[in-house]
């Protein structure tokens, strides 16, 4: 049984990386992930990554903050501690808009941080899984799942033909509990 988990193609140029993605997709080879040291325009569409729903989450967190602020202010000013100051109404909405705005921003900020940690599994204290350390510096890496794609020599040839500087086999590490 093979211990190879991923086949990593290392590219020195983003255009060669895009060419490598095209070559693999033309041969119906599924790509596990792509790691780049900088953003590359159009790579999401080429890999078939769906649009993020982060704006919807931010809106929901913001509305929750606005509603929480409104409910707290209404409860305190109208129901619990009604104070008559110079004949003014107990609930004067323009006076409380800054408070509602601040709680909207607060809920949105904390909600987005928690959403980020939940969606990326990068909770504080968890070590990130790095395929190749050079992907954070100067290399563009295509990772292909070796278990799903059995023909490793074909993948190796396609990556080298597309301009890969190096093709590595990332092996699975087994831990013995004996």
Question: What is the predicted pLDDT for the residue at 80?
Answer: 83
**CA 170/CA 3 separation, integer angstroms:** 9
| pLDDT tops 50 at residue 143 | yes
Residue 11 pairs in a beta bridge with 140
**CA 133/CA 139 separation, integer angstroms:** 9
Q: 0.75 exceeded by the pTM?
A: no
| pLDDT tops 50 at residue 175 | no
| pLDDT tops 70 at residue 171 | no
**CA 28/CA 72 separation, integer angstroms:** 56
Select the more confidently predicted residue: 18 or 147: 18
């Amino acid at each position: 049984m093979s211990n190879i988990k991923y086949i990593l193609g290392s590219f020195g140029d983003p255009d060669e990386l895009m060419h490598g993605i095209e070559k693999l997709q033309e041969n119906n080879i599924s790509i596990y992930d792509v790691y780049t040291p900088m953003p590359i325009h159009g790579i999401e569409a080429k890999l078939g990554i769906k649009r993020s729903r982060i704006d919807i989450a931010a809106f929901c967190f913001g509305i929750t903050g606005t509603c929480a602020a409104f409910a707290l202010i209404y409860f305190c000013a109208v129901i619990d501690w009604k104070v008559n100051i110079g004949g003014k109404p107990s609930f004067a909405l323009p006076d409380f808009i800054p408070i509602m705005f601040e709680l909207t921003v607060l809920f949105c900020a904390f909600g987005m941080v928690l959403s980020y940690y939940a969606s990326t599994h990068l909770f504080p204290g968890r070590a990130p899984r790095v395929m190749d350390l050079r992907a954070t510096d100067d290399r563009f890496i295509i990772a292909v799942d070796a278990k799903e794609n059995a023909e490793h020599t074909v993948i190796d040839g396609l990556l080298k033909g597309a301009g890969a500087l190096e093709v590595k086999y990332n092996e699975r590490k087994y831990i013995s509990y004996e």
